Structure 1
Amino acid sequence: MRALWIVITTFGCVLIAANAESCKGCVPLDSFSFDKVIPKFKAVVVKFDVAFPYGDKHDEFRKIAADTKDSQDLLVAEVGVKDFGNKDNSDLAQKYDINKDDYPAIRLFVQGRSEPYKFVAEKDEDFTADNIKRFIRSHSGVYLGLPGCVEQLDRLAKEYQSANESERKKILERAKIFEDTLSEEQRTAAKVYVKLMERIMERGDVFVQTEQTRLEGLLKGKLSNDKKRVMEERRNILQSFTSRDEL
């Protein structure tokens, strides 16, 4: 019996170690550590899941940890919930109204806000690293580079949205000058930023919302993979012109 117990214990330790390595960069939280850690960061994205997660959705979440490893403002965390034995962390799942049919469930905790934001994927294929990153960025104000975006131009876009008309003209010129310093691939993206600035100047800030609605409609239709990628990248750039409070 003692030998059997050693084998079972060793096997359990191997499973735990494998789980710890399965999401490199993810911080495991439990009922004791959760409230100590969450308030320390500007934003914390948490995946509530089974104790030993696997599958495509878990792989997508792993990408977020890898992509944001240099961010000092965002913590990527996991809570493994057990529905057997001591039912570890089931109290946390209950607190945030999560049941096992919801796994994996994503919650975003933002400093200064008592309740977390809930990530909702209408379809399984919407549960992607890019969509979750877009969700984090829109609700937290934490900068996360999205496909198609250029960080310096994202910052100019934010500056542009809070500027008056004369300042916007100067920012537009700065964007055009910056465009000439970029690689060919980034120059393509820069042209989108410049065009959006021009359209906003012509049609007013309402253009941001109408263009966002138009892109969302197009993305729900049938598109080739290349066309879909272009539309998604344009949507990512457009988000840089939208303040956190508007999303």
Structure 2
Amino acid sequence: MPTKKGRAMSNLAPVPNVTHWPERAQLAAAFRWTARLNFHEAVANHFSLAVNDDGTKFLMNPNQRHFARIKASDLLLLDANDPTTMDQPDAPDPTAWGLHGSIHRLVPHARCLMHVHSIHATVLACLADSTLPPIDQNTAAFYNRYVVDEGFGGLAFEEEGTRCAGMLSDPKKKVMIMGNHGVLVIGDSVADTFNRLYYFERAAETYIRALQTGQPLRVLSHEIAEKTAQELDDYPDQAERHLSELMAILDDEGSDYAR
């Protein structure tokens, strides 16, 4: 039975002829927790995970399915290089295809993508200055590790997706604050990306709430902010343990996410 950091995925019940079950279960768990944390927006947001070496074949949520209902077997297996994708009967959401398909095709180090309109990240994206100053440990985690997209061009159809992909060439920059839109987080795995998404929303919340006090901010120096970010980059196993614990809670609750 597949395991994640020593914990058996007890709910894994593979469906015949459906591949990538451990990856599907992890991604489905991330959907469920994103809904539980209220980071999603109705049926409008998207996650994807590359499953081949060059990153062009990927799993993604089906068109307009609520995150709270997504199961491992629901996930679409797509090919970023297949021009017929949107003509097929189970075609994904067109904006999801435009954004995720473009990035998986053009940015091979982006193995997993999570795009949401979570409240505080979106508030940050709506400010004239959408930078995130290092004012605590969580905000410092993203110091020099994000890009701000100031060229919002409407819904993320393929042209807009290609433009966004062009901003993610630096592997160190794993968060895109999508001006006037939301946030896009990339990573090496489901665990890595979900952990980063979680902490970015917490960091954005801290900053927005600090601004609401109207008091001067206590901003960390460049040296301490970079040191803290690097220490968190190197912190062992936190992302994997975070996701493993969330999956264990879902298992204990009898969730059907891994079916």
Pair in the same fold by TM > 0.5: no
Q: Which has the higher contact order (CA 8 A, sep 6+)?
A: 2
* Structure number, greater radius of gyration: 1
User: Going by fraction, where is helix more abundant, 1 or 2?
Assistant: 1
TM range (shorter): 0.3 to 0.5
